[in-house]
């Protein structure tokens, strides 16, 4: 039965995996995602799931095992963070190119160096062009909900791509929150059985997965994955709508918070959105028309929908928890500016924040809104700058 509980983001992710009961989990421990496979291994030991749990020797091997399992025709999942995701990078491209709907629970952590175990998005942003669908979660409830939707999105016959469900390391993964855990039978019915059309162990069909691809074929494979990623937009929308119908919690490509008449807005992903909402509420109480757009889906990028949502603003702050080292801004900044180009005349300012777990506070966001008012009034701001840094 549906129950209210208190648990961390990692526990919430593990509960979702227990309810999904995938055929294979392959994982290697790395902070701060270690608890997810740890909880799942306990479920296996206690007989709560019949998943084949594979304890591998590295994250590269974890994704390789998931690729083998998925190619054989079963549901496969894993979890990782930071340097573990980096060690998977080669295999992330393989999983996407081979059109395998593997689910990756990603607990965002700064990618070494210097060595740091706290939250930022450098790990998942480093894999942004590998071909995985990417969803981001503000809190434990969203991490749980996004994982419940992940298999159906990835396994859509028009998609068949791996999917990454992200939450912020320690901030969300280890923070205890109130959460609703849905009824096991209801979840199982929502997710359904996985019935792939093509798989290696199908005796009625000869199939090769992941062979060496010479020049005449590579671009066709990439084009097919490109079209699949475009199709993922509709799959995310459809599954999210069905989730709202069944469980009552609504999700879109992004969440708009107090945006109906907003003049200034912040666009941000994951846990910092909660902090920004408090800043928006305080500014609204002072008569300032502030708003927030929290991006949930980074891949595929909802460019047209974002441009439409932002076109009435006087100024927009684009917040990145990673740096792109391009000299012209960070990944989200570049994506949003490209989305707005030619579609919405909004003044923008890029900000890099929270690297290596550095706090961002309500007052920081209030200061940013103040700078947006200056930008709208004609003051020049840097194309992109760090905030909260000791110069």
Do residues 297 and 170 share a domain?
no
Query: 290 lies in a domain?
Result: yes
Q: What is the pLDDT of residues 56-77, one digit of tens each?
A: 999 999 999 999 999 999 999 9
Q: Which of 247, 277, 306 is the last residue of a domain?
A: 247
Residues 349 and 365: their CA atoms lie apart, in Å, by: 13
Q: What is the pLDDT of residues 329-364, one digit of tens each?
A: 899 999 999 999 999 999 999 999 999 999 999 999
Residue ranges making up the domain that contains 151: 3-247
The model's confidence at residue 276, banded by pLDDT at 50, 70 and 90, is very high
Domain count for the chain: 2
Q: What is the pLDDT of residue 70?
A: 98
**Is 386 exposed, middle or buried (CB count within 10 Å of its CB: 0-12, 13-18, 19+)?**
middle
Q: Is residue 391 part of a domain?
A: no
Q: Are residues 177 and 200 in the same domain?
A: yes
**Based on the domain organization, do 147 and 287 belong to the same domain?**
no
Classify 187 as helix, strand or coil: helix
41 and 58 inside one domain: yes
Which of 212, 229, 247 is where one domain is finished?
247
Asked if residue 297 and residue 238 are part of one domain, the reply reads no
d(CA 130, CA 123): 12
Query: Are 117 and 213 part of one and the same domain?
Result: yes
- Biggest distance spanned by C-alpha atoms of the chain: 68
CA-based nearest residue to 164, from 179, 146, 182: 146
pLDDT, position 390 = 87
Residues 6+ apart with CB under 8 A from 242: 152, 190
Of 291, 298, 301, residue with least CA distance to 256? 291
pLDDT > 90? residue 207: no
- Supply the pTM of this predicted model: 0.97
What was the pLDDT predicted at 209? 83
Same domain? 283 vs 237: no
- Report whether 126 contacts 86 (CB < 8 A): yes
**Nearest residue to 19 via CA among 8, 3, 6:** 3
Do 231 and 351 share a domain, yes or no? no
Cβ(124)–Cβ(98) below 8 Å: no
The confidence score (pLDDT) of residue 329 equals 86
Residue 92 and residue 146 in one domain: yes
Round to whole Å and give the CA distance between 74 and 100: 10
Q: Is the pLDDT of residue 20 over 90?
A: yes
> What is the CATH classification number for the domain harbouring 381?
3.40.50.920
Identify the domain boundary among 222, 247, 272.
247
Any idea what the CATH number is for the domain that residue 201 is in?
3.40.50.970
């Amino acid at each position: 039965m549906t129950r209210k509980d208190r648990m961390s983001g990692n526990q919430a992710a593990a509960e979702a995996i227990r309810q999904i009961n995938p055929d294979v989990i392959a994982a290697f421990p790395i902070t701060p995602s270690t608890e997810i496979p740890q909880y799942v291994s306990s479920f296996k030991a206690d007989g709560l799931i019949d998943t084949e749990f594979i304890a591998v020797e590295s994250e590269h091997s974890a994704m390789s095992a998931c690729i083998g399992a998925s190619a054989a025709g079963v549901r496969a999942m894993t979890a990782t963070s930071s340097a573990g995701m980096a060690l998977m990078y080669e295999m992330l491209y393989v999983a996407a190119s081979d059109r395998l709907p593997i689910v990756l629970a990603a607990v965002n952590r700064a990618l070494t160096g210097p060595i740091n175990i706290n939250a930022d998005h450098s790990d998942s942003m480093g894999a942004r062009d590998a071909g995985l669908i990417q969803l981001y979660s503000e809190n434990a409830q969203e991490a749980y909900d996004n994982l419940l939707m992940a298999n159906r999105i990835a396994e859509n016959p028009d998609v068949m791509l791996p999917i990454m469900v992200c939450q912020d390391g320690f901030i969300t993964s280890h923070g205890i929150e109130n959460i609703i855990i849905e009824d096991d039978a209801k979840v199982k019915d929502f997710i359904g059985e996985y019935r792939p059309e093509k798989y290696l162990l199908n005796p009625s069909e000869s199939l090769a997965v992941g062979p060496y691809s010479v020049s005449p074929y590579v671009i066709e494979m990439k084009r097919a994955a490109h079209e699949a990623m475009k199709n993922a937009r509709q799959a995310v929308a459809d599954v999210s709508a069905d989730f709202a119908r069944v469980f009552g919690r609504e999700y879109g490509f992004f969440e708009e918070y107090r945006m109906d008449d907003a003049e200034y807005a912040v666009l941000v992903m994951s846990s910092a959105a909660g902090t920004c909402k408090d800043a928006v509420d305080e500014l609204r109480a002072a008569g300032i028309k502030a708003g927030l757009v929290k991006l949930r889906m980074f891949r595929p990028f909802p460019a047209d929908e974002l441009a439409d949502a932002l076109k009435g603003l006087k100024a927009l702050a684009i917040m990145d928890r990673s740096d792109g080292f391009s000299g012209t801004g960070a990944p989200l900044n570049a994506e949003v500016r490209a989305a707005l180009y030619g579609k919405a005349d909004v003044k923008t300012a890029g900000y890099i924040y929270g690297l290596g777990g550095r706090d961002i506070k309500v007052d920081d966001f209030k200061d940013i809104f103040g700078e947006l008012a200056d930008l709208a009034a004609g003051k020049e701001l840097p194309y992109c700058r760090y905030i909260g840094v000791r110069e």
